[in-house]
């Protein structure tokens, strides 16, 4: 029974066989289009401008950020690429594609690929020495309709949808084989929904993929990605994993897949946070659970908003309502120092936790380089001014950066003084 029929899936199903991508051909090699641009940003002889947080954290985990590229998620032109790349080179050693590798960006129409932005991302990031993360292959919110429809708009047969998904994955992952270390293969496939008694239960989220293929689409996606690049680490990525029911379900799903030989190499916890939520204890539950099940975890999209949570007003704009602006956009010009200090302490506590579980955490990546280009400024509500990252709108280090630096300057026994008593990973 599928999730849209009201079933809360307590134990993931055993999936049937799946088609392979052996019949797919080789795609053209990477282009060289980004070389001239890169030379203007980073001297050819050096990839790091100064020692940054990535150096201080390298004994614990990779430290990453994202690549915006030429255009931001709200359609604006990115006019600060040089400054972003300078910070990316000096402070981070891993980088994730924000938008240029999503299905609608790479293959908006069947068989019509737009590889130029992704090629630039991979080539530039490789030359800068970054570990590269591809994001994302299968996601409900970015699934062009052609995957699921016949030419006349009617639903395509299950076998055709499977073939299209597998071919897309094989083409994209195969193109960057050996260049991308991690892939977010399936993104946000689990949700908490009310059951027949009105209680929230974790289940597979209704989606075009689930409707067209069934729950097997998850296994199919990982098999196809692994076949295209056997050396890449394949992650399942999701939000709100501080919710125990959702964390338990995702861990059980991944454990089941791994036990059956499906190549899922870790879990990605997005980590979009607020000043007072989630609680440290909630995040630690996830980390401790992954550690006990020997499942590597990456914090994939970290940021920490200083604004009120506005998700119930998703799609609204503060420009349309004075009441909304007053409540949900309290710092339209500048943010008080006291708020930045509160954010700094919160970040410090989170990094203490991450260091405590560094044997489980492979990577911590921020979802942005600096405040001015953060998605938090236009999502979930347009027209706000947020301050969620480590660098401000003048590209200067914020108190949060300094607090993390202070933490890392402590002797090892004080950085992770609350080392858990669980047995170490084998």
CATH classification of the domain holding 212: 3.20.20.80
What pLDDT is recorded for position 12? 40
Q: Which of 13-22, 54-63, 261-270, 406-415 has the lowest mean pLDDT?
A: 13-22
What pLDDT is recorded for position 11? 37
Burial (Cβ within 10 Å: 0-12, 13-18, ≥19) of residue 152 = exposed
Rounded Cα distance, 162 and 221, in Å: 9
| 409 pLDDT tier (thresholds 50, 70, 90) | confident
Is residue 27 a part of any domain in this protein? no
Model pLDDT for residues 372-397, shown as the tens digit of each residue:
999 999 998 888 999 999 999 999 99
DSSP secondary structure letters along 264-290: --EEEE--EEESS-S-HHHHHHHHHHH
The bridge status of strand 233-238 relative to strand 182-187 is: parallel
Name the token pair of 355. Answer: 């260091």
Q: Which of 91, 98, 120, 188 is catalytic?
A: 188
Q: What is the arithmetic mean of pLDDT over 249-257?
A: 98
Rounded Cα distance, 259 and 252, in Å: 10
Residue-range definition of the domain harbouring residue 264: 3-16+52-415
pLDDT at 133 over 80: yes
Rounded Cα distance, 424 and 363, in Å: 18
188 noted as active-site residue: yes
301 noted as active-site residue: yes
Rounded Cα distance, 330 and 324, in Å: 10
Model pLDDT for residues 27-50, shown as the tens digit of each residue:
344 444 444 444 444 333 333 334
Beta bridge partners of 269: 238, 299
| 324 pLDDT tier (thresholds 50, 70, 90) | confident
Q: What is the arithmetic mean of pLDDT over 90-116?
A: 97
Q: What are the helix and strand counts (H, E) for the chain? A: 14, 11
Is residue 203 a part of any domain in this protein? yes
What pLDDT is recorded for position 414? 65
Task: Give long-range contacts, CB 8 A cutoff, 24+ apart: 403-407.
Answer: 403/344, 403/345, 403/347, 403/348, 404/53, 404/347, 404/348, 404/351, 405/53, 405/56, 406/348, 407/348, 407/351, 407/352, 407/355
Closest CA to 366 of 57, 60, 64: 64
Is residue 46 a part of any domain in this protein? no
Rounded Cα distance, 353 and 284, in Å: 7
Is residue 63 a part of any domain in this protein? yes
Is residue 158 a part of any domain in this protein? yes
Closest CA to 56 of 90, 30, 31, 79: 90
The predicted model scores a pTM of 0.86
Residue bearing the bigger pLDDT, 17 or 266: 266
Is residue 21 a part of any domain in this protein? no
Exposure on the CB side of residue 194, measured as CA atoms within 13 A: 4
Is residue 34 a part of any domain in this protein? no
Q: For the chain, what is the domain count?
A: 1
Q: Which of 301, 352, 362, 403 is catalytic?
A: 301
Q: To which residue do tokens 């980390």 refer?
A: 287
Residue ranges with strand state E in 265-353: 266-269, 272-274, 297-305
């Amino acid at each position: 029974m599928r999730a849209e029929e009201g079933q809360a899936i307590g134990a993931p199903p055993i999936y049937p066989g799946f088609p392979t991508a052996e019949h797919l051909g080789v795609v053209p090699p990477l282009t060289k289009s980004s070389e001239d641009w890169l030379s203007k940003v980073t001297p050819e002889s050096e990839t790091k401008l100064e020692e940054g947080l990535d150096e201080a954290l390298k004994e614990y985990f990779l430290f990453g950020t994202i690549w915006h590229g030429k255009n931001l998620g709200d359609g604006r032109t990115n006019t600060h690429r040089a400054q972003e790349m300078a910070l990316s080179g000096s402070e981070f050693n891993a980088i994730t594609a924000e938008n240029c590798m999503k299905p609608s960006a790479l293959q908006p129409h069947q068989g019509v690929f737009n590889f130029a932005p992704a090629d630039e991302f991979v080539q530039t990031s490789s030359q800068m020495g970054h570990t590269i993360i591809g994001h994302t292959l299968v996601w409900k919110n970015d699934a062009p309709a052609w995957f699921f429809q016949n030419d006349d708009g009617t639903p395509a047969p299950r076998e055709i949808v499977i073939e299209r998904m597998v071919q897309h994955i094989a083409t994209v992952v195969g193109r960057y084989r050996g260049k991308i270390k991690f892939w977010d293969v399936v993104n946000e496939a689990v949700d908490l929904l009310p059951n027949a008694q009105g209680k929230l239960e974790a289940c597979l989220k209704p989606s075009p993929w689930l409707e067209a293929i069934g729950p097997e689409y998850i296994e199919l996606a990982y098999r196809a990605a692994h076949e295209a690049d056997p050396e890449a680490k394949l992650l399942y990525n999701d939000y709100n994993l501080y919710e125990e029911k959702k964390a338990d379900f995702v861990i059980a799903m991944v454990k089941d897949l791994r036990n059956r030989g499906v190549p899922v190499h870790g879990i990605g916890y997005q980590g979009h946070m607020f000043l007072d939520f989630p609680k440290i204890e909630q995040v630690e539950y996830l980390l401790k659970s992954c550690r006990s099940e020997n499942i590597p975890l990456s914090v994939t999209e970290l940021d920490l908003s200083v604004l009120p949570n506005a998700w119930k007003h998703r799609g609204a704009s503060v420009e349309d309502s004075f009441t909304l602006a007053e409540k949900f956009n309290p710092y339209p010009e500048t943010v008080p120092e006291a708020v930045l200090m509160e954010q700094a302490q919160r970040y410090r506590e989170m990094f203490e936790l991450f260091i405590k579980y560094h044997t489980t955490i492979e990577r911590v990546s921020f979802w942005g380089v600096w405040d001015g280009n953060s998605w938090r400024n236009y999502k979930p509500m347009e027209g706000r001014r947020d301050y969620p990252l480590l660098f401000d709108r003048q590209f200067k280090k914020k108190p949060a950066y300094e607090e993390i630096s202070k933490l890392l300057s402590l002797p090892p026994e004080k950085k992770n003084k609350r080392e858990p008593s669980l047995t170490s990973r084998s």
